[in-house]
Every structure is written in structure tokens, then in C-alpha cells.
Amino acid sequence: MEIKVIAGEITKIKTGAIIVGFFEGKERLASDIAAIDEALNGVITQLQSQGEIKGKLNELTTIHSLDKIPASRVLVVGLGKEKEFSLDKVRGAIAEACRWLRRKSVNDIATIPLGAGTAGISLESAAQAVTEGALLGLYSFRKHITKEPEFSEIKQLSIIGDKQIVPLLEKSCSKGKILAEATNLARDMINEPANWMTPSHMAEMAKKLAETYGLEATVLEREQMEQLGMEALLGVAQGSKQPPKFIVLHYSGSNSKEVDVALVGKGITFDSGGISIKPAEKMEEMKGDMAGGAAVMAAISAISQFKPKTNVLAVVPATENLPDGCALKPGDVLKMMSGKTIEVISTDAEGRLILSDALGYIKKLGAKQIIDVATLTGACRVALGDICSGAFGNNQELVDKVIAAGAEAGELIWQMPMYEQYKEQNKSDVADIKNAGGRYAGAITAAQFLAEFVGETPWVHLDIAGTSIAEKERGYLVKGATGVPVRTLVNLVLSMVK
């Protein structure tokens, strides 16, 4: 979909539909919607007085203009209560509106920066949110469906504003477009079946991103991993015929050779659980166990387009976790790249194994800060559901920055405890540490395991097991992969160089 910023008045735009917002409980219409109401001979006011338009969040009311204005339709979208309004509600409302109009076979639409001037929201922020909401809300994954879609896609969204602010709105829309398209890239990767998104496919994708966005790409093969002593990653990989890949993407935005921020993503392209095999029900969803890897790859592709003066590394250890005669077994002991030994209690706790080698690799490079992202534990999903990602860290300042970046993106993050007492559950009788600390506090003990490999480096671990997938449409989230936390990571990096 093409997004344009046009100078003009919303009542004079020729288009398939215009979208306007209405707050719940408001007696008087805002100026833009009032102008449309006047042109339509008061029909919006009439529907409001009759109780058909209430303004409840994401309520949709279609009005046919009958040639009273150049637009064929007016879609009034509820914005909820003004005192509870936020940018994320802009994203959600515009997404719901766009999907509704797509179902009505509307090909082009126009709107204003919804919500601007409310709750401290600027015109630029509103325009960015409208752009993000439209592109994220209209996302679909139909690559493997041969049947023609029931509805045609919306081809153009025009955002209308005064002539003097068009350059500002264009800049904001451009930012929203980069963030949304990067998120949709991650969604595409995660939604791919595991036979189409193998470790090798992830590595090829990394090389394409590097070529497109001017990144430096390095892919370590099995032999190189052996030389580096990555026994944990190789141990998980040994049950699969698919070769493991260790993917490194480097964005260089400053003259320094130091790594300012390292982004690490779990890249298990299919997780059967290995010998500790998972139940069959919903195992097909385990194609998405590389959501963390997809997120950091997409994030660094977006970061490179903003050209911040910083150096960012994205690292993805990628493999399948399958059972065969060569597979890792419960009770095995592995030696990590860092030199630590690990007793394998569960082969289904494989994500922390491959991440430990990735963290060891980054530690040797001397990265100043580390953020890792992983669909790591069912325990985090039990604790927080599909609303919040869990944040665990060793540096409160960095944790706060991550949470703030998530709030800006509308990707909610909740900090979890990291008390020393939890480490007791990870103690092993036969090795330095074991890879599963038991049933209780599973998300925390998994994070404590990872903490062993970062030392004093400021670090945050994001567990996205619950938030990486949506069971149904909700605002700008569509069923399937969500692309969390691509926009959080981009916001974080950009905030660090302001």
C-alpha cells in the first residue's frame, strides 16, 4: 500500500472513503468531523443523537456520502474515552477501520492524523501512528494459499494536512512505514512453515538484508562453530539434518570499532522438544520458535535505514531441535564457548543453550550492552499471557529504557524479579550449571541461566513466548505472528543516540 501526505481539506478529497475519529461522550464534534457533518447535512450529528454513533473504542459506522462530498463514504471510528486516549489506540483504531474498508472492497482511503492535539499527541506522532496502524493492521500472509483472496487490497492511504506541515508529516509517515514494514518482515519470517524457513533460509535472508541495507553479514558454519567451542549450539543441532547457522549482522554508524548495542535472537526454526518431546497438540506453532531471531534481523534492517551514529550487532544462533539417534539426551554434559559446563536436564530447554553460546560470542567482542529476545519459556506465557513480554536484566537503567521503548511502540513489557535466591534451582551435581531449574519460576530460572554468560555487561532478556503470536485479530495485531518486539528494539537504539 502506498502512503501519501496531501495538503488540503478532508472534505474536498476524492477517494473511496475518508476515516474520521470520534471520542466517546463528546457532545460537540471536533472541527474536521464537524465540517464533514455540515457537508452531509448533519447526518453525523443525527446518528450521534440517535445513539448509533457512541464513540466507543473501535466502533465503526459507515456513512454513504451520496455525492455530497467527493469521497464515496465516511467511516466514523470510535476513539474511546478522551482521558484514556493514547498513540496505541490510534494504531488500533486505524487498523480496524482499514480492515473494515478492505472487506467493502474500497481501494483508496484518506484520513487526518487521528487524535492529534489530544493527550499531548503531536500531529507528527499521530501521522506516524496512523501509518503504522494501517500497514500492520492490513498485513496478511498468503504466500502458500493458491485461492484468490476474497477482497482486493487497499492500494493507497492519503494523510491530509495543512500545506505548511506536509514536510513534517512526510517525515513521520516515512518513520512509521520503516517500522511497520520491518515488523511485517519479521511476521513473514515467523509465519513461514519450518520447511521454508530453515537455518539456511534464515542465513540467506540475512545476506539479502545485508545487501539491501548496507549491512555486513557473516554466517558461521558448523566447522567454525566447532573451532570456537560452541558445544551447546552444536549439541542442540545434532539431532537435525539441517545444518546449523550462526548469523551475524553488523550495522556500523560511527567511526568507533566498538559494539554499542548487541541484539541477540533465538533462532530455533522448529522445536519438537528433542528427546524431551513436546505434546503433539499445537506443535505446528513451534515453527515460530525463531521469532526472536526474526525480530533482531528485522530490527537491524530498520535501524540501518535511520542511520544512527552508533554500532549495532544482531546475532542469531539458528538450528532445529529434533530427536534422532544422534540427538542430545537428558543427562548429557556440554562445554560452552565460555568454558562453563552444563548438565542437560531437558532437551526442550534448548533455547537457553544456543543463546548461551551467542552471549559468549558477544561477550568476547566486548559489546557495551546486550538485549536478547527469545520465545524462551511457557512459564512466561503462563505468568503474563499474551499481553506483556517479560523483561529480566542486571542493569535497572537499561531495563527502564527497554520498557520505555516498548511503551512508545505499544509493545507492553513487564519487569520480572531476578533475585539471587533463584540461582539455587539451577545448581547441578555433575556440572557447573543445569539447563532447567524445575517447574516453579521457570521464566526466572531460565533468565538466571542466561545471566551466567553476560557477566557485568548491562543486559536485558525479553521473553516473548506469549506475545510473539496472536490467536485472533486485535487492533493492529492480526492472527499469527505479531513481530514483537521489532519496533521496541528500533526505538531503543534510536533513543540511545539522541
Number of domains in the chain: 2
According to the model, what pLDDT value does residue 282 have? 94
Which pLDDT band, with edges at 50, 70 and 90, does 395 fall under? very high
In the predicted structure, residue 28 carries a pLDDT above the cut 90: no
Q: In what order do the strands lie in the sheet with 341-343?
A: 333-335, 341-343, 433-434
% of the chain at pLDDT higher than 70 = 100
Residue 131: how many CB atoms within 10 A of its CB? 28
Residues 141 and 285 in one domain: no
In a domain, 452, yes or no: yes
- Number of residues that make up the chain: 498
C-alpha dihedral sign at 302, 307, 310, 313: positive
Domain that holds residue 105: 2-181
User: Looking at residue 90, which CATH number applies to its domain?
Assistant: 3.40.220.10
In the predicted structure, residue 285 carries a pLDDT above the cut 90: yes
According to the model, what pLDDT value does residue 29 have? 87
In a domain, 486, yes or no: yes
Residues 130 and 209 in one domain: no
Which pLDDT band, with edges at 50, 70 and 90, does 32 fall under? confident
What's the rounded Cα separation, in Å, for the pair 69 and 32? 14
In a domain, 136, yes or no: yes
User: Looking at residue 422, which CATH number applies to its domain?
Assistant: 3.40.630.10
Residues 89 and 136 in one domain: yes
The pLDDT tens digits for 49-105 are 999 999 999 999 999 999 999 999 999 999 999 999 999 999 999 999 999 999 999
In angstroms and rounded to an integer, the radius of gyration of the C-alpha atoms of the chain is 24
In a domain, 186, yes or no: no
According to the model, what pLDDT value does residue 246 have? 98
According to the model, what pLDDT value does residue 393 have? 98
Final residue belonging to a domain, choices 115, 146, 181: 181
Residues 144 and 99 in one domain: yes
In a domain, 413, yes or no: yes
Residues 353 and 474 in one domain: yes
Residue 457: how many CB atoms within 10 A of its CB? 18
In a domain, 9, yes or no: yes
Final residue belonging to a domain, choices 159, 181, 203: 181
- Cell matching residue 457: 555487561
Residues 275 and 360 in one domain: yes
What does pTM read for this prediction? 0.97
In the predicted structure, residue 498 carries a pLDDT above the cut 80: no
The pLDDT tens digits for 337-368 are 888 999 999 999 999 999 999 999 999 999 99
In a domain, 177, yes or no: yes
The pLDDT tens digits for 295-313 are 999 999 999 999 999 999 9
Residues 100 and 205 in one domain: no
Mean of pLDDT values over 113-125: 94
Task: Please enumerate in sequence order all residues whose Cβ is within 8 A of that of 371, keeping only pairs 6 or more positions apart, or say none.
Answer: 261, 262, 263, 264, 402, 459, 460, 461, 462, 489, 492
What's the rounded Cα separation, in Å, for the pair 301 and 283? 30
Residues 83 and 19 in one domain: yes
According to the model, what pLDDT value does residue 307 have? 98
Which pLDDT band, with edges at 50, 70 and 90, does 157 fall under? very high
Beta strand 2-7 pairing with 156-161: parallel
Final residue belonging to a domain, choices 134, 149, 181: 181
% of the chain at pLDDT higher than 90 = 97
Residues 133 and 261 in one domain: no
In a domain, 336, yes or no: yes
Mean of pLDDT values over 444-470: 98
Residues 315 and 449 in one domain: yes
- Mean pLDDT, the chain, integer: 97
Residues 145 and 292 in one domain: no
- Cell matching residue 321: 531441535
Residues 237 and 349 in one domain: yes
The pLDDT tens digits for 224-276 are 999 999 999 999 999 999 999 999 999 999 999 999 999 999 999 999 999 99
Catalytic residues: 278, 352
Mean of pLDDT values over 375-385: 97
